Structure 1
Amino acid sequence: MMAPRLARILIVLAGVMGADGVILAAVAAHQPDAARLASASSMLLFHAAAVLGTLALAERGAIHSGIGILAASGFVVATALFAGDLTLRHYAGHGLFAFAAPSGGALLIASWLALAVAAAWPKRP
C-alpha cells in the first residue's frame, strides 16, 4: 500500500507539471526561437502523465508500490531538472548548473527503468 500523503504530494506535483507544460507550450507557440521551451513543455506534459499512471498502477497493485513511488518521484525531480534548465537557458541565458539537463535526462531514463523493474518484480501479497 502506498503512503497516502506521499501519493497526494506526487499528484499535486504532476498537476503543476501539467499546467507548466501547457504554459510553456503556449509561450513556445508565440515566441520566436523557443525550441528549448517546446522541449521543456513536452517533458513536463509526458512525465506528468507518467507520474499519474505510475501511481495508479502502484495503487492497483499492478507494480511494486515502493519501486513505483521511487520511479514517480524520479520523474518529478528529473523533469524539474531537465525542463528547469532549458527554461532558464531560454530566459536567463544560463542553466541551473553544469550538466543539469543531462543529469535530468539520465534520471528520467533511470526512472523509466525503475518502472520496468517495478512491473517485473511485483510485491507479493
Structure 2
Amino acid sequence: MSKIPLYRILVILAGIMGADGVILAAVAAHQSDATRLLPASSMLLFHATAVLAAVALAERGVVSARGALAAAFGFVVASALFAGDLTLRHFAGHSLFPLAAPTGGTLLIASWLVLAVAAAWPRRG
C-alpha cells in the first residue's frame, strides 16, 4: 500500500506536465519565433503519457514497481529540465544552468532504459 501515494503523486505530476505541454504549444502557435517552445511542449506531452503508462504497467505487475517508479520520476525530472531550460531561454534569454537541456535529454534516455530493464528483470513473488 505504500506505493499508492507515489502512484497518485506521479499521476498528478503527469497531469501538470500535460497541461504545461498544451500551454507551451498554444503559446508557440501564437508567438512568432517560438521555435524552442515546440520541443519543450512535445517533451512534456510525450513524457506525461509515459509517466501514466509506467504507473499503469507497475499497477498491473507487467513491470517491476521499483523500476517503473524510478523511470516515471526520471521522466518527470528530465522533462522539467529539458522543457524548463528551453522555456527559460525563450522567455528570459538565458539557460536554467549550463547543459540543463542535454542533461534532461540524457536522463530521459536513461529513464526509458530503466523502464525496459524493469520489464525484463525477474520480479519477486
* Structure 1 residue aligned with 2:50: 50
* In structure 1, C-alpha distance between the alignment counterparts of 2:2 and 2:32, rounded to whole Å: 44
Give the superposition deviation at 1:122.
3.8
Residue-pair matches, total: 125
Q: What aligned pairs does 1:9-20 form with structure 2 within 5 A after superposition?
A: 9-20=9-20
Residue segments in structure 2 that go unaligned for 5+ positions in a row: none
* In structure 1, C-alpha distance between the alignment counterparts of 2:104 and 2:61, rounded to whole Å: 28
Q: What aligned pairs does 1:29-108 form with structure 2 within 5 A after superposition?
A: 29-108=29-108
User: Which stretches of structure 1, 4 residues or more, deviate above 2 A after TM superposition?
Assistant: none
Q: Quick check: 1:2–1:65 contact (8 Å CA) kept in 2?
A: no
* In structure 2, C-alpha distance between the alignment counterparts of 1:85 and 1:24, rounded to whole Å: 13
* In structure 2, C-alpha distance between the alignment counterparts of 1:70 and 1:53, rounded to whole Å: 13
* In structure 2, C-alpha distance between the alignment counterparts of 1:113 and 1:4, rounded to whole Å: 23
* Structure 2 residue aligned with 1:121: 121
- The one-letter amino acid of 1:108's match is L
* In structure 2, C-alpha distance between the alignment counterparts of 1:115 and 1:67, rounded to whole Å: 6
Q: CA RMSD in A?
A: 1.0
Post-superposition Cα deviations, 1:30-71, rounded to whole Å, max 9, x if no partner, equal: 111111000100000000000000000000000011011000
Q: Quick check: 1:58–1:68 contact (8 Å CA) kept in 2?
A: yes
Aligned identity (percent) is: 71
TM-score calculated relative to the size of structure 1 = 0.97
* In structure 1, C-alpha distance between the alignment counterparts of 2:45 and 2:104, rounded to whole Å: 15
* Structure 2 residue aligned with 1:110: 110
